[in-house]
Amino acid sequence: MDKTINANFENFIGMSEGYSEMAYQLVSHVLTLGYAVMLAGLLYFILTLKTVSPKYRMSNILSGVVMVSAFLLLYAQADNWTTSFQFDPEQGRYFLNPNGDLFNNGYRYLNWLIDVPMLLFQILFVVSLTKLSFKSVRNQFWFSGSLMIITGYIGQFYEVSDLGQFFIWGAISTVFFFHILWVMRKVIKEGKEGIPEEAKKVLGSIWTLFLVSWFLYPGAYLMPHLLGIDGLFFNEVGVVARQMTYTIADVSSKVIYGVLLGNVAQILSKAEGYDFKKLQQM
Ligand code: RET
């Protein structure tokens, strides 16, 4: 297999030096943790549905949708890892399985195609927009969210075979990414107007979490070349770092984000006279 094949760099490491026991298992465990957290999150979002007034429940429902799709696709991603590489007892390392599929991070991208619009819409069911139009924001989120992912999905195929294409598609994707950040900043700023101080603080944390966790994805895209083209990360350390980055980003941008939005919804529900704790005692 030469470097003209549009395969992810994980395969080239698995074909040349192979993976040590620790690197192989770390990736396998981190991928497993990823989908396990999504199932746990699903349970949380279902069980907390009634803690917010009916008006805000769409936020929990969208988190639930995100959990189901992420669970299934991350499960497929983990399965892809274990079937792509196999242990060689003679060398004591894992190498590309000649009878298996190649490894590809594309499952994730297709998961984002569902989850990114859902996560972006979700906040619109919690904050009240007074100046911005709900429809226009929703359409901008939907448009730029999908194009950011599709262009990145194409680009990631070229991370070894054609760096020109890899960087061009990555740059186009980044334009849509910045558009999303710009719209989200406006939504959060406007959402803070006229709500209790406590809810404002949580919305502030959501913006920080959003910025940090969403920037991890382009970081993972660039991982094989992060410390120089085919440089210090073009090895098993880069492979482990990439899967860890993705898992941290997924747990933050989907689960923690959903929990924090739920907290805002709880505060707002209470301020509007829906006090879950009191209802429980009745
Ligand atoms: C890509 C390609 C390279 C450039 C940029 C990217 C951005 C990806 C982002 C993904 C967010 C995903 C989320 C998923 C949650 O389920 C596509 C890696 C900018 C921001 C939040």
With beta carbons less than 8 A apart as the criterion, state whether 38 and 70 touch: yes
Q: Whose CA is nearest to atom 12 of ligand 1?
A: 112
Q: Can you tell me which atom of ligand 1 is nearest the CA of 153? A: 17
Give the C-alpha separation, 221 to 244, whole Å: 12
For the Cβ of 257 lying below 6 angstroms from any atom of ligand 1, the answer is no
For the Cβ of 12 lying below 6 angstroms from any atom of ligand 1, the answer is no
Q: Whose CA is nearest to atom 17 of ligand 1?
A: 152
Q: Whose CA is nearest to atom 10 of ligand 1?
A: 217
**Whole-number Cα distances in Å, 197 to 170, 190, 193, 208, 267:** 39, 14, 10, 17, 10
- 3-state DSSP call for residue 209? helix
Q: What is the pLDDT of residues 162-192, one digit of tens each?
A: 999 999 999 999 999 999 999 999 999 999 9
The CB density around residue 102, as the number of other CB atoms within 10 Å, is 18
Q: What is the pTM of this model?
A: 0.95
For the Cβ of 253 lying below 6 angstroms from any atom of ligand 1, the answer is yes
pLDDT at residue 85, as a whole number: 97
Q: What is the pLDDT of residues 3-42, one digit of tens each?
A: 889 999 999 999 999 999 999 999 999 999 999 999 999 9
